[in-house]
A and B are shown apart, each in its own frame.
Chain A
């Protein structure tokens, strides 16, 4: 079976310890996740967990069914093939004079922004799809990446469908 990337959105009770329950289940069942984000939603009683994963049909089916069994989980959906996916990255690169204009061009083209600047280095904020972020990282590599961190993706389906009315 094919190993596909997919994104799962999960509504969980907004309580202490809920994330632990979800991640403990991943450990217990041997699932490996690519990225996970969690945050508040339009309903204060729920948090939304977005999980990016890769796996075959078996992994996907098991993951969803095991998630549904958790008492704190209210709703689980695999998002459509092409959901709106965004990720934010902060990346700190060396600011050498000979690279400065190349970096600034990249920042411009990727619609990123420089949020901290000194003569030794600069910190850039990039938002976009994970592949866009990957491309930006690749572009920065020759200039010397000092540090970077990515949020992991957040995702919503296109159109007016929502997780709770799906």
Chain B
């Protein structure tokens, strides 16, 4: 059938299984929006308050489901507003397709109104991008974008479509949903080598990252750990991928990781790294990182092997298949000594965290907030966060009852990510969604409250309000002699009134009892489709502990101040 370019685009999105898109209209996508109007019974468009919100929503949509999130923006400022969201997805390997309009080909390069070279701008922050200059290529380019976004190590792809391509007409033939490009199967000799190393190890540690989380490999990981008595730890991006109740699971390691997890990693004699990239926040000083240990690294991306940390065995290819084959070849090998050591580390961690809790000056500590949340939150709750102290507390204290329940910007550390991402996660799953945020981060993109209210997205927002930019302030406390340069907000924002002004519900909580009541009521309100903001007052001097100083080694860990 003959369709115009905008119709071809929307038809191709529908053909590729897209049911929801996030975006914002404008002059150079008006034809695309006309097509969205035509196909509105097949594809749901969420109008955000800002294109950045749309990009984070597409990202959250993807993190919560593994599906490719889609966002749409107009040329120029619309396109540049997507940039932070695209970069966030890139750094965390999140599959996303961003579609932008552009001025007609005849006006390209003339500094036309709202013209920007967005493929140039996004070159280093996309897995790949396309400028479609012929309508003949449009449908296939969209299909390629989806293939690239979800294959191998996933990532964002941008497709820039000039206006004349949207307007022109061409023949459209529906095609099936594109698959992933299969990853090479790992050779048997490498599997055998890994098995031999694991079999010999006395203190194995499985290090789970975002790559494993994206593949929902939790059950496989636990099964392997049970077989050989391996400790399990994860990177920030690996959170929520391993069932937490498992006694071998020690939680996140790294800069603000769990004491037991970081210590066990530092004592292990073999680290099996699954889909991790050894970020500087996870390793500290790489020259001192896990020097006592051999490392096996499984990753779909060959450039990750030996990039940040030299490994003894790099296995590149189909991670899930390789992991299963390794697990199948391992024979049972229990290690009571190592397990006893792991238990001792956990006890030590408990002692440290009790000490931290005892030192608290205010009754409502971050830990209390999360204890209450964990107790009351419904099953399948997705926890989204912004970036800062609250994010690290969320990473340390949140419980997750299944995979894909933690939605947070790891690599880029994007303040303002949370609200958009939480909305996207809700639209994708309709599961209960929490946003843990801080007064700094929330201030960046709180305009999306309007979207949440309009679309009845009942996100419960726990705003950990300490009146300061807590994470930077923490560094100033520890490393800059308490010279609090520009981290004290001294704002007069009334978040309860602000929530109400947007048409959401608002509560204030200053004590554990108040928070418990507010959170319970918020959960009830959210059942009516209402977003809720709870302004939770916490002490500005609360620190995220433990902390490995940037560039430090495990021996430099700060557990109290």
Q: Is B148's beta carbon under 8 Å from chain A?
A: yes
Give the contact stretch, choosing among B119-127, B224-232, B403-411, B537-545.
B119-127
Which residues of A58-88 are within 8 A (CB) of B? 58, 61-62, 65-66, 68-71
Closest residue of chain B to A57 (Cβ to Cβ) is B306
Give complex CA distance A39, B315 in Å. Answer: 35
Give the contact stretch, choosing among A20-28, A96-104, A122-130, A152-160.
A20-28
Q: Is B1's beta carbon under 8 Å from chain A?
A: no
Which residues of B125-182 are within 8 A (CB) of A? 127-128, 131, 148
- For residue B301, which residues in chain A have a CB less than 8 angstroms away from its CB? 65, 69
Which residues of B490-536 are within 8 A (CB) of A? none
How near does chain B come to A28, taking the closest CB pair, in angstroms? 5
Give complex CA distance A20, B127 in Å. Answer: 14
Question: In the complex the two chains form, is A28's CB within 8 Å of B303's CB?
Answer: no
Q: Is A142's beta carbon under 8 Å from chain B?
A: no
Closest residue of chain B to A28 (Cβ to Cβ) is B124
Question: In the complex the two chains form, is A20's CB within 8 Å of B123's CB?
Answer: yes
Closest residue of chain A to B125 (Cβ to Cβ) is A28
- For residue A65, which residues in chain B have a CB less than 8 angstroms away from its CB? 301-303, 305
Q: Is A17's beta carbon under 8 Å from chain B?
A: yes
How near does chain A come to B288, taking the closest CB pair, in angstroms? 18
Question: In the complex the two chains form, is B127's CB within 8 Å of A17's CB?
Answer: no
Give complex CA distance A61, B306 in Å. Answer: 9
Question: In the complex the two chains form, is A62's CB within 8 Å of B123's CB?
Answer: no
* A interface: dominant SS: helix
Give complex CA distance A69, B183 in Å. Answer: 13
- For residue A71, which residues in chain B have a CB less than 8 angstroms away from its CB? 127-128, 148
- For residue B302, which residues in chain A have a CB less than 8 angstroms away from its CB? 65, 68
- For residue B305, which residues in chain A have a CB less than 8 angstroms away from its CB? 65
Chain B: interface residue count, which band? 10 to 19
When the two chains form the complex, which single residue of A24, A27, A66 contacts B303, counting CB atoms closer than 8 Å? A66
How near does chain A come to B61, taking the closest CB pair, in angstroms? 23
When the two chains form the complex, which single residue of B119, B127, B307 contacts A62, counting CB atoms closer than 8 Å? B307
Question: In the complex the two chains form, is B306's CB within 8 Å of A69's CB?
Answer: no
Question: In the complex the two chains form, is B119's CB within 8 Å of A17's CB?
Answer: yes
Give complex CA distance A71, B155 in Å. Answer: 12
Question: In the complex the two chains form, is A62's CB within 8 Å of B303's CB?
Answer: yes
Which residues of B256-292 are within 8 A (CB) of A? none
Closest residue of chain B to A71 (Cβ to Cβ) is B128
- For residue B128, which residues in chain A have a CB less than 8 angstroms away from its CB? 70-71
- For residue A66, which residues in chain B have a CB less than 8 angstroms away from its CB? 303
Give complex CA distance A68, B301 in Å. Answer: 10
Give complex CA distance A70, B305 in Å. Answer: 17
Which residues of B295-317 are within 8 A (CB) of A? 301-303, 305-307
Question: In the complex the two chains form, is A21's CB within 8 Å of B306's CB?
Answer: no
Question: In the complex the two chains form, is B123's CB within 8 Å of A24's CB?
Answer: yes
Give complex CA distance A62, B303 in Å. Answer: 6
How near does chain B come to A143, taking the closest CB pair, in angstroms? 44
Closest residue of chain B to A63 (Cβ to Cβ) is B303
- For residue A62, which residues in chain B have a CB less than 8 angstroms away from its CB? 303, 306-307
Give complex CA distance A69, B119 in Å. Answer: 18
Give complex CA distance A66, B304 in Å. Answer: 9
Which A residues are closer than 8 A to B by beta carbons?
17, 20-21, 24-25, 27-28, 58, 61-62, 65-66, 68-71
Which B residues are closer than 8 A to A by beta carbons?
119-120, 123-124, 127-128, 131, 148, 301-303, 305-307
Q: List 20 A-B contacts (CB under 8 A).
A: A17-B131, A20-B120, A21-B123, A24-B124, A58-B306, A62-B303, A62-B307, A65-B301, A65-B302, A65-B303, A65-B305, A66-B303, A68-B302, A68-B303, A69-B301, A69-B303, A70-B128, A71-B127, A71-B128, A71-B148
- Starting from the known contacts A20-B123, A68-B302, 18 additional A-B residue pairs (CB-CB under 8 Å) come to A17-B131, A20-B120, A21-B123, A24-B123, A25-B124, A27-B124, A58-B306, A61-B306, A62-B303, A62-B306, A62-B307, A65-B303, A65-B305, A68-B303, A69-B301, A69-B303, A71-B127, A71-B148
